Amino acid sequence: MQNFKKNSFYSILIFSLTLVGCATKLPLSQQFYNDKKVGIILDIADIGMARTGSQGLLDVAITPGNKFIEPLHNIKSKLDYEGILKNEISNIMKSKNKEFTFIDEKVDLASYGEFETTNSDKKYAKTDFFPLRLARKDLNELLVVKVKYGILVSYYGFIEIGKEGYVNIATEVIDLNDNSLLQKNQHQLNSPIHGNWKEGDADFDNLKVSIQESIDKSITILKESF
């Protein structure tokens, strides 16, 4: 019961990662470099544990990852991923003379319906952003940045065989006029943990450093995308 309460309090999520190599990728359209205003949504999942490898349901049940909850919670504030992303995206947009604004109010993307079209001339976002277009008539385009990050644990059955810091970052740029995609990317960035994950100059510093390295890689990828 105590572990359950702790899980609920910290809201640390445990993700099962899938390969992103087969995901649709679309380089940024030159149409983006115009005088239209882009709204930016940062959808950053809480820092958490992700798992990879070969596991059955029983293996997952007996390796819930509770031991990672408190360490991840304690180092989260030292990483300030959201602040870093906001700063870097602002710098990118300013360097391109692109008018932008962050949409700070909570947007429940999961509540939006699926977009349907019979037009095959363009690629379209799967999510129908028409409700946002109605609510924010000042916006012409939308940049959605979705992030999961934390510790990636590799398993063989119930046996841990490796740990890494990781970031999974996905971006979409949408033309709100017709819901078409101007860009779509997804990247998985992993960094090894040097030494025991619990140790370092301070408690769990080795873990923090590896996650920070993955964050730095994600920022580099983001810059290269624009």
pLDDT score for 22: 44
pLDDT score for 17: 52
**CA 217, CA 192: separation in Å to the nearest integer?**
13
Entry field: residues in the chain: 226
pLDDT score for 23: 55
Cα torsion 145, 148, 150, 156 to 10°: value is -150
Rounded to a whole number of angstroms, the distance between the first and last alpha carbons of the chain is: 47
R_g over Cα of the chain? 19
Q: Which amino acid belongs to residue 97?
A: N
pLDDT score for 42: 96
- Mean pLDDT per block of 10 residues along the chain (226 residues) reads 42 45 75 93 94 80 84 92 96 95 88 87 92 92 97 88 94 96 95 88 87 97 93
Global confidence as pTM: 0.85
Strand, helix or coil at 173? strand
pLDDT score for 21: 43
Q: Are 116 and 178 in contact (CB under 8 A)?
A: no
Domain residue spans of the chain: 2-17+24-225
Q: Are 39 and 136 in contact (CB under 8 A)?
A: yes
pLDDT score for 120: 80
Q: Name which of 78, 79, 102, 80 is nearest 90 in CA terms.
A: 102
**CA 125, CA 217: separation in Å to the nearest integer?**
26
**CA 203, CA 9: separation in Å to the nearest integer?**
22
pLDDT score for 151: 96
Q: Are 202 and 48 in contact (CB under 8 A)?
A: no
CA dihedral (75, 145, 86, 96) positive or negative: positive
pLDDT score for 168: 96
Q: What DSSP designation does 46 have?
A: P
